[in-house]
Amino acid sequence: MIEVKNLTYTYMKKTPFEKVALKDISLDIRDGEFLAIAGHTGSGKSTLIQIVAGLIDVEKDIVTVDGESVKNKSARRKIGIVFQYPEHQLFEETVEKDIAFGPRNFGLSEDEVAARVDEAMKLTELDLNLKTASPFELSGGQRRRVAIAGILALKPKYLILDEPTAGLDPKTRKNLLDEIKKLHKSGVTIILVSHYMEDIARLAERVVVLTSGEIVFDGTPRKLFSQNEILETAGLELPAATRIMQKISRAGFNVNTEILTIDEAEKEILTTI
């Protein structure tokens, strides 16, 4: 479990540009959970995940991973983080070398590195024949999967995904979300940072909403989307399916207005008809 205890973080302390990014945040992320962190730009969610991943230094024991301070290398190795547009960080001449970069730097044997590359490519549904291809010759969706595979090859127990579907076309986006769902089912704890309510509705078991550096909601997606005041305060919208069902209801049809996904909406409409 990842534990965050009474975390407050301020950028550029004791300067005219001082800004409090997080205010007394306490949060437990349980093993095997699919947690979404939502909030408008400037809410503090990016700062939070960077601290959780050990990329921003804080006092000892404010963040612990399985009881160990995230300041320790062994704890940080349990966490993988995929930033927004991770394909921009690809740099090796082949897909295989890019995915192998992290494990090789861990000092693993070449046999173990090769095995991890194969496993990570299979998890992200990348054709093994692409190993010798240049990542820069692949489609945008494939490049993103290569970047994610490079993190998975490190075998993190906890995987943080920062806006993983940003900039993708609808089909590629759906395919990537399906792969993320499979990763979660394989036992990886997922922390999804997103402002796409459709992604959260479809995948997350629990949502934490940040506003101005504070947690204003912690609960299920269905409960969140029934609280319009919190959504409005946080600058978030209802999922498209929920908005559609509410419009259909206002038109006089007796439908469930708590529908969260397009699949649920389709079933509800067919049943009603």
Write the pLDDT tens digit of every residue in 137-160: 998 889 888 999 999 999 999 999
CB 185 within 8 A of CB 177: no
* 9 DSSP β-pair partners: 22
CB half-sphere exposure, 226, CA atoms < 13 A:
9
pTM of the model as a whole: 0.87
22-31, 51-60, 61-70, 83-92: least confident range: 83-92
> Domains of the chain (ranges plus CATH)?
2-236 (3.40.50.300), 239-273 (no CATH)
CB 112 within 8 A of CB 103: yes
Task: Report, as an integer, the average pLDDT of 125-140.
Answer: 91
Question: What is the distance between the alpha carbons of residues 59 and 69, in angstroms, rounded to a whole number?
Answer: 9
Question: What is the distance between the alpha carbons of residues 134 and 184, in angstroms, rounded to a whole number?
Answer: 28
The yes-or-no verdict on residue 196 having pLDDT over 90 is no
CB 34 within 8 A of CB 206: yes
Question: What is the distance between the alpha carbons of residues 186 and 199, in angstroms, rounded to a whole number?
Answer: 19
Q: How confident is the model at residue 239 (pLDDT cuts 50, 70, 90)?
A: confident
Q: pLDDT value at position 273?
A: 59
Write the pLDDT tens digit of every residue in 82-117: 988 878 888 899 999 999 999 998 889 999 999 999
